[in-house]
Each structure stands twice: as structure tokens, then as C-alpha cells.
Chain A
Amino acid sequence: MSDFWIILTASIVAINAGLLGCFLLLRKMAMVGDAISHAVLPGIVVAYYFSGDKTSGLLLLGATLTGVLAAFLIDFLSRKAKIQGDASIGITYTLLFAVGMIMISSWMQGNVDIDMECVLYGDIATIHMDKIIVDDNLYLGPRAFYVEIIAFAIIGLSLFFGFKGFKLLAFNIDYARSLGINTGKWHYALMTLVSLTTVVAFEVVGAVLVVGFLIIPPATAQLVSTKLREMLLFTCLFGISAVISGYYLAVWLNVSITGSMVMVSGIIFFAVLIFQRIRNSSKQKIEFTEELTQYDQANK
């Protein structure tokens, strides 16, 4: 039974992260997503420290704000301090992650709920221990599952109603501004959603590996899609396949579940990339031989 809940929960994590990841990727902000996922750590620790509870709404809100702060800081460093964009990302996320680690090592000594391992790969194997039970016989599944479902609802609705806006922003931000659209608001809306996703995913997959869910499935999908809707759909499919096969691989090898899921996701990416390259080059070869025969016939 726990297999089922782990796979289901991780699949929703993959869908949430992947859908938003598509827009990050198209805006060439994949590494900003990486930075946000690291940067929520101090927010999570602070909120946990003050509320003493992993389930509190305060935790989610506080941590989400840290992610948005990171996005803001990156913007500030590159615009006001004139530090290169790349370097701004690097500086911001290492700083915030370092702050989080210092908090954990000095406040959370011996705490079982937040330690560095959980930061790395989450607690996916044990999510079923924190479950919602109505009475002794009715088991409604792990709490993390419901948190993810709520996040999915928020993200799904935002993307559904804001589809045009997010698409316009990703394709051509200057054009969006020329239509009088407040691109700053849309940008921070996206950053808030990404931040929220990484915060709720923290418990399941940790702060470091979530970036694998955020970037790899959308990138794989981008290789094979010609339309945005298609890309979103393929992202979900690639994400879910990585979750399922990654899970069973992890069980078989007795290794980290989250690590295995992201690793499989990476393998799928490279497999699709190489398959596409082989197909394209054989297509070119056929075209080339056709040209040659035409040339020969013409010469005759």
C-alpha cells in the first residue's frame, strides 16, 4: 500500500514541478528555479523553528516568501549591482542555502524532522507514517499527498487562467510589455508558484533534488514537442514515467528513492536526445543518397 502512495505523491510532485518548469525553461530561467529551490531552506527552518510543526501553514507561507526573496535578490544583484546574471544566481543560492545549513546545524541538533539528509533527498520513503486516518479502518493516505494535491490545484488553476499571460511572457517579454501588460507582476507570480512548489516538495523530495523534477522532464518534453500544450502534456508523462521506474529501481537496488527517480529522469532525457540525433542523421543520410542518385541520373 505504501508503494502506491509514494508513487502517487511523487507523481504529483513531478507534475507540479514540471508544469512550472516548462515556463522557467522557456524563459531561460532554469537556474533561477534551481536557486529558488535551494533558497527556501532557511525559510523552512525558520518557520519550523517558530511553529515547531512541519504541517503548519505558517511554514509554507514563510518558506515561499524566502523563495520569492531569492528571485528578487538575483534581480537586484544583476541590475543594481551589475553582477553578471549567472554569478548573481550562484551568489544568491549559495548564500541562502548556507544560512539554512547554519540554522540547521545550530538549532536543530538531534532533531529528527529536519536534518541534512532530509534536505538532500526528502522523506519520501516514510511519508506514509504521517497519515490522515478518519477512524481505525479508513485510511485516507499520507498527509503529504493532500498537501501536494492542494498545491496542484493552485498551480493548475493559475496556469489554466493565466495561460495566455505566462505564454506571452515566455515567448517575448518586450512584446508583452508593448501590449501594456505588467510583466513584473506576471514574473513574480511565476516565481511565487515555483517557490510554493519547491516548499511543498521539500518534505517529499528535499531541497536539492527537486530541481531535477523542475528542469529535466520539461527539457525532455521540449525536445519532442512543437506546441506548448503538447510540451506540458509530455512533461507530465516523462515525469510520471521517471517516478514509477525510478521507484522500482530504487527498491530493487535498495538506494535513495528520490535520487533514483531523478537519475532515471536524466537517463530518459539523454535517451530521447540520442534517439533524436540518430533519427535525424539517418534522415539526412537518406536525403543525401537521394540527392546523389538524382545527381547521377541527371548526369546520365
Chain B
Amino acid sequence: MNENCAIEVHNLTTTYGGAPVLWDVDFDLPAGKIIGVIGPNGSGKTTLLKTIMGLLEPSSGYVKIFNQDLSKMREKIAYVPQRESVDWDFPASVFDVVMMGRYRKGNLFKRTNNTDIEIVEECIEKVGLTEFRNRQIAQLSGGQQQRVFIARALAQKADIYLMDEPFVGVDAATENSILSLLEEMRNTGKTVLIIHHDLQTVSDYFDYLVLLNTRLIAKGTPQDVLTEENLSNAYGGQLTLLAKVANLIKENQFPIREKDVDL
């Protein structure tokens, strides 16, 4: 396998209630790049991230992180969920949430040590929230909340970062500062995979793109991916047939793959 491959997704199919949401998706992602995942609403972007993260069980195919199983690479990979996925009324301060980035399977029962605290302070500073470190998370703006999540991921000290829509509900200034932070991370060799929906900015933001609509439509550099044909395949309603078949599969509770596929 390619030495420079951060994430290998092999023939991945994930179903929801019987219908395929991701269907035979297959790609390798290069390390040390900022990679965008784009596609219309309901095209399986979040499902892709969750399947890579092991939060959803694929019905076929597999994911490898640096050629290893996810279970061995947990500490190398950090996940930033959608901002709406948590209840921001939770009684916790910025510091508390970022500290969760230092939690590990192995240290849940241990007390936090000084190294952890130093790392957390440093990450809060990196996202520019030091003056808010003791504030309750409900009393932050949308952009600040997003930065808390990014700081938490930074505190994990991972090599790969998966971010689900980090630019949603964020003002332009914050978006720029997040972006320069991501570029800084890339320059130190980190891989960042981002779900994004604003087609205007994709070619400026990303080194590599994955275009999804249940199926993988295209992958590669922005120039290669952002062709008219690819975009109309993904966004232009050209895939109605695909949706109809997915629906048939769901209605008939049909297996999406047979056990004996080769030959």
C-alpha cells in the first residue's frame, strides 16, 4: 500500500434502516493535506465521517488508518462532531470541554496531571479563547463554540482530524482564523478531513477533494473534481435512479451485497 496514505476507504457501504447511505465508496486519502468532503444534503458526508470513526458499522468494506485497523489507531485520529450534535446548555466551561480532549480509554479513572493542563491551556490559546476559558459554553457565540470543539480536537494531539462542518454558523473573521490554524496544522504534517458545503470557497480551502452523492462521484485535486460533469452528476439530480434503487432495496429489505461476490 501507498506509504503516504492516511485513510484508506475500501468498498465501503453503510446502510440506514436498510437503505444504502454510502454505497461502494472506495478511495485513498493522502497524508499531510487539507481534504474537503463535498456533496449535496443527505449525500452521506456525515455518515462517511462516522463510519471512518467507527461510530457506524459498515455493512461491507473496511477503513484503514495508516494501513492499520482503527482500533489500533484511535489515538492518532480526532473527531470534531457537528456543533448541533451536543446540548450547549451542559454545565461545563470552555476549559472542561477542551480537557475532554485529553481523556483516553486508558486514563478515564486517573486524575488529570499537569501535562494535560498545560496542553489544554496551550490549545485554548491557539484558538484564541484564553479570556473565555472559565465561561460556560452556553454563553459563547456560534464561532466561539466551534473553536472550543477544534481546541478539544487539538488537545488530542492526533495526526488525522475529521471535522463535520466546522464553518457552519461561523462569521467570516472566525472562518479565516480557523482556516489559517488548519493550514498551520497541515504544514506540520497533519491530515485534516473537512465536510464542507460552500462550493464557492472549496478551491481556495482544500488541497484535495472528495465529491459524494451516496456514491463516490469524484476524488482528486480541486481542478480535477470541480468539472461541470462531476458537479452535475452530484448536484444536478442526475442520480434519481440511484435513489430509486436505494428505496427499492429498503422496501424489500434486500441485502445490498451478496456474500460470494467474486469470480
> Which residues in A have some Cβ–Cβ distance to B below 8 Å?
26, 28, 161-162, 164-165, 167-168, 170-172, 174-175, 177-182, 222, 225-228, 230-231
Contact = CB atoms under 8 A, between A and B. Distances in A.
Interface residues of B, number: 28
Contact of A178 (B55, B109, B136): B55
Please give me the 10 A-B residue pairs with the lowest Cβ-Cβ distance, nearest first. A178-B79, A226-B136, A180-B74, A165-B108, A180-B105, A231-B91, A172-B86, A178-B53, A225-B91, A164-B108
A20 to B, nearest CB: 16
B50 A162 contact: no
Contact of B109 (A162, A172, A228): A162
B96 A228 contact: yes
B74 A26 contact: no
B253 to A, nearest CB: 13
Nearest to B50: A174
B201 interface: no
B189 to A, nearest CB: 21
Nearest to B70: A180
A231 B91 CA distance: 7
B105 A179 contact: yes
Contacts of B100: 167-168, 171-172, 175
B6 to A, nearest CB: 16
Contacts of A177: 53-55
Interface in B8-42: none
B109 A161 contact: yes
Nearest to B135: A226
Nearest to A171: B90
Nearest to A26: B90
B85 A172 contact: yes
B71 A172 contact: no
Contacts of A26: 87, 90-91
B90 A179 contact: no
A181 B105 contact: yes
Contacts of B103: 164, 168, 179, 181
Nearest to A231: B91
Contacts of B60: none
B96 A227 contact: yes
A178 B54 contact: yes
Given A162-B108, A171-B86, A180-B105, A228 B91 contact: yes
Nearest to A27: B87
Contacts of B89: 222
Interface in B57-87: 71, 74, 77-79, 81, 85-87
5 contacts: A179-B105, A180-B71, A180-B104, A182-B105, A225-B91
Contacts of B92: 167, 171, 227-228
A142 B239 CA distance: 72
Contacts of A175: 79, 81, 86, 100
Contacts of B233: none
Contacts of B179: none
Contacts of A226: 91, 93, 136
B97 interface: yes
Most chain A C-beta atoms within 10 Å of own C-beta, residue among B79, B87, B91, B105: B91
Interface string B100-123: 100111001100000000000000
Given A162-B109, A226-B136, A170 B90 contact: yes
Given A168-B100, A168-B103, 7 more contacts: A162-B108, A164-B109, A165-B109, A171-B97, A174-B85, A179-B104, A227-B96
Contacts of A174: 50, 55, 79, 81, 85
A227 B136 contact: yes
Contacts of B136: 226-227
A228 B137 CA distance: 12
Contacts of A179: 74, 103-105, 156
Contacts of B50: 174
Nearest to A226: B136
A172 B92 CA distance: 12
Contacts of A178: 53-55, 77-79, 81
B122 to A, nearest CB: 20
A174 B87 CA distance: 13
Nearest to B97: A171
Nearest to A225: B91
